[in-house]
Amino acid sequence: MSGAVPFAELLAAALIVLGAGFALVGSWGLVRLPSLMERLHAPTKATTLGLGAMLAGSVVWFQLVKGEWTTHELLVPVFLFVTAPIAANMIAKVHLHALRSGDASAPAGPAGAPPPPPGRADWATHEAPHQGTPCDFEGDERR
């Protein structure tokens, strides 16, 4: 049976199944993990990787159907790989900000709230430059 199926179709099907499996694992982790700092791991890594696999599968499939290599699908995973860490960083900042402002609807999770950084500095979620702390760069005071 597999001798009759072209190798490219087999590869495209395997990549689509792999991508859907990774997306499922990412969303399952989003439901299952205990607090936001753990939950951030599943969708930002597994789901993004799964989407990359699905788009690679579509490149293989359109090569099989139309006989030409298309690369514009690869723009989507490139863009997602660039933006996923930034979005995760912003969401983690929102979580830290909610923890620090005592929002009761945001539990800290099993690991607890992260300790403040050493020195007199604080996490840069609320205030921008802190005068007289290690984060006080030259020029802040003139502002």
Partner 1 sequence: MLEGALAFGFAGLGLALAMNLWRLVRGPGTADRILALDTMVINVIGVIVLAGIAGGSPAAFEAALLLAMVGFVGTVAYAKFLLRGDIIE
Per CB under 8 A, 47 contacts partner 1: yes
d(CA 93, CA 106): 13
Compare residues 5 and 121 and give the one whose CB is closer to partner 1.
Answer: 5
Query: Which residues, 6 or more positions from 131, have their beta carbon under 8 angstroms from its beta carbon?
Result: 140, 141
Binding characters for partner 1, 68-87, by CB under 8 A (x = yes): --x-xx-xx--xx--x--xx
Sort 99 into a burial class: Cβ within 10 Å, 0-12 / 13-18 / 19+: buried
Toward partner 1, which CB reaches closer, 34 or 117? 34
Q: What are the C-alpha distances in Å from 55 to residues 12, 69, 71, 73, 125?
A: 9, 13, 10, 6, 35
| Residue number with CB closer to partner 1 (65 or 121) | 65
Pairwise CA distance, residues 1 & 142, whole Å: 75
Minimum CB distance to partner 1 smaller for 106 or for 118: 106
Tell me how far apart the terminal alpha carbons of the chain are, to the nearest angstrom. 73
**Which of the residues 15 through 34 are near partner 1 (CB under 8 A)?**
16-17, 19-21, 23-24, 26-28, 30-31
Q: Which residues bind partner 1 (CB under 8 A)?
A: 5, 9-10, 12-14, 16-17, 19-21, 23-24, 26-28, 30-31, 36, 39-40, 43, 47-48, 50-51, 54-55, 57-58, 61-62, 65, 70, 72-73, 75-76, 79-80, 83, 86-87, 90-95, 97-98, 103, 105-107, 125-126
